[in-house]
Amino acid sequence: MDTNSSTTVPPSRFLSRRWKWTGGIAAVLAVLAGSFTYFNTNAFAEDRLCHGWFSADEARQVLGGPFGRLTAHESSPWSCTVERTGWFTGAGDDRLTVTAWLEAEDFPFHRSSWEFTGDRHLSAEGGPGAYSTRGGWTLLPSSCASAIDPRRSDGKPTPKLWVSVPGKAAPSDTAHLLDSAARAIADGSRCGTVDADAGSVDGQAGGGTRLHEPSAVARTDFSEVCGIPGFELGRPAGPRGEEIQEQTSGVLNSPEADWVCDLSFTSLKDGESGEPLTRLAVVRNPRLVAALENRGFESAECGGRTTVLAFDDLSYLLEPEEYEATGLPRTGISGPFEAAAKKALNCTT
């Protein structure tokens, strides 16, 4: 036997092996692609989530990314949680919860716990709403109250649609999702109408998607507090020497917009927010004006609109001697605010 002889493998065998490897790789890639699609998209799921209130794309925008599989948990006819899972998502906090419920008639102006504040984005069109990176709310038409809870519908409650998010959502995306959900609820429950006049007390379904952005926090100019000409407070300070700062949202001089200003003490410690002092609001939206009907605030005609000058005085949190040390008016801030606002806005009683 010739030991130097070699065996020649026919070309067909090389081709066969190549096709086997290629076929195997293609099969693996197909499995990976299918797995990626299943675990990171909603390609095989329904487009509308949470009783059909909003789309998967709208939920994904709020949760901050194009990837991830969305699962809706409809815990009740008026509440739903959407979770996002996948290979590229964080763990534990990728979820949003949307709930419709009935608030007391003076919402969002409950004493000492306003949900209409200077650090939130306020709706600039449609029905009232306020949004932050952690969520937001809009009002449903008043006639939706009986659909949400017939047992409470005769007490003038305020139907509210609320969403909580992980703390990283763009307020405009949250407003878009709630606007879609409010319209779907009003249409599905046949309460109000999605085309209702925003000026009616029953209200428009949805708060719209155009928002007023809050101002930056700034030291207060005591010759023009909250930017209102003639609103002066002398030279007050916190009981421990803190300065006073302000933040506003909305538009003060527009007859079509609401406006709010938060006054607070600056913190003496880095990284900590200061103590709240008071909130002041110029309220023009008919739904919000109606919410304040029985609160006793000053009401006037300003720019052809019924306007309420509201305030939430939080200085009661100070001890009497602490308030005395601030140098603020003994009768409170509301009087100077009302007088200056009525003059600046050309109001008539």
Residue 162, both tokens = 């609320």
**pLDDT tens per residue, range 198-222:** 445 566 677 678 999 999 999 999 9
Q: Give dist(CA 291, CA 228) in Å, integer.
A: 24
Report the pLDDT value the prediction gives residue 31, as an integer from 0 to 100. 44
The answer on pLDDT for 21 being more than 60 is no
At residue 347, the 3 state secondary structure works out as strand
Report the pLDDT value the prediction gives residue 90, as an integer from 0 to 100. 52
The answer on pLDDT for 349 being more than 80 is no
Residue 9 binned pLDDT confidence (cut-offs 50, 70, 90): very low
| Average pLDDT of the segment spanning 45-73 | 88
**pLDDT tens per residue, range 116-140:** 999 999 999 888 999 999 999 999 9
Report the pLDDT value the prediction gives residue 109, as an integer from 0 to 100. 97
Residue 137 and residue 160 in contact, taking contact as beta carbons nearer than 8 Å? yes
The answer on pLDDT for 280 being more than 70 is yes
| Stretch among 5-14, 60-69, 289-298 having the lowest mean pLDDT | 5-14
Most confident of 11-15, 48-52, 124-128, 321-325: 48-52
107: closest CA among 267, 291, 245? 291
Between residues 167 and 81, the one the model is more confident about: 81
Report the pLDDT value the prediction gives residue 10, as an integer from 0 to 100. 55
Q: Give dist(CA 174, CA 48) in Å, integer.
A: 16
The answer on pLDDT for 194 being more than 60 is no
**pLDDT tens per residue, range 225-257:** 999 999 999 889 888 888 999 999 999 999 889
Residue 68 binned pLDDT confidence (cut-offs 50, 70, 90): confident
Residue 16 and residue 10 in contact, taking contact as beta carbons nearer than 8 Å? no
Report the pLDDT value the prediction gives residue 155, as an integer from 0 to 100. 67
Report the pLDDT value the prediction gives residue 127, as an integer from 0 to 100. 85
Average pLDDT, the chain: 83
Report the pLDDT value the prediction gives residue 152, as an integer from 0 to 100. 78
Between residues 74 and 276, the one the model is more confident about: 74
| Average pLDDT of the segment spanning 33-54 | 65
Would you give the end-to-end CA distance of the chain in angstroms?
121
Q: What percent of the chain has pLDDT over 90?
A: 58
The answer on pLDDT for 93 being more than 90 is no
Q: Give dist(CA 261, CA 277) in Å, integer.
A: 11
For the whole model, what pTM was predicted?
0.82
Residue 77 and residue 188 in contact, taking contact as beta carbons nearer than 8 Å? no
Residue 276, both tokens = 């709240």
| Average pLDDT of the segment spanning 183-205 | 70
